[in-house]
Amino acid sequence: MAIIVNLDVMLARRKMSLSELSERVDISIVNLSILKTGKAKAVRFTTLEAICRALDCQPGDILEYREDEIEKE
């Protein structure tokens, strides 16, 4: 997938656990884990906003676009 989720990076930078983020944004650990591992098919803007607020970051700090190697050839 060309969209990379850097949630684990931001959690590490903020020294916050996934369970603490879950409590702050009122989203289950399971759903945050699905997002963190890049297995989510979509993310609501309200969810992204809550995560950014809790982590004091921008959406671009969490989501990144990278061209797949196959697409470059």
37-56 pLDDT, tens digit each: 999 999 999 999 999 999 99
User: In the prediction, which pLDDT does 68 show?
Assistant: 72
User: In the prediction, which pLDDT does 2 show?
Assistant: 86
User: In the prediction, which pLDDT does 33 show?
Assistant: 95
Which domains does the chain carry? 3-68 (1.10.260.40)
* Maximal C-alpha separation, the chain: 44
- Average pLDDT of the segment spanning 11-37: 96
Quote the CA–CA distance of 22 and 32 in Å, as a whole number.
7
Quote the CA–CA distance of 15 and 1 in Å, as a whole number.
27
User: In the prediction, which pLDDT does 72 show?
Assistant: 53
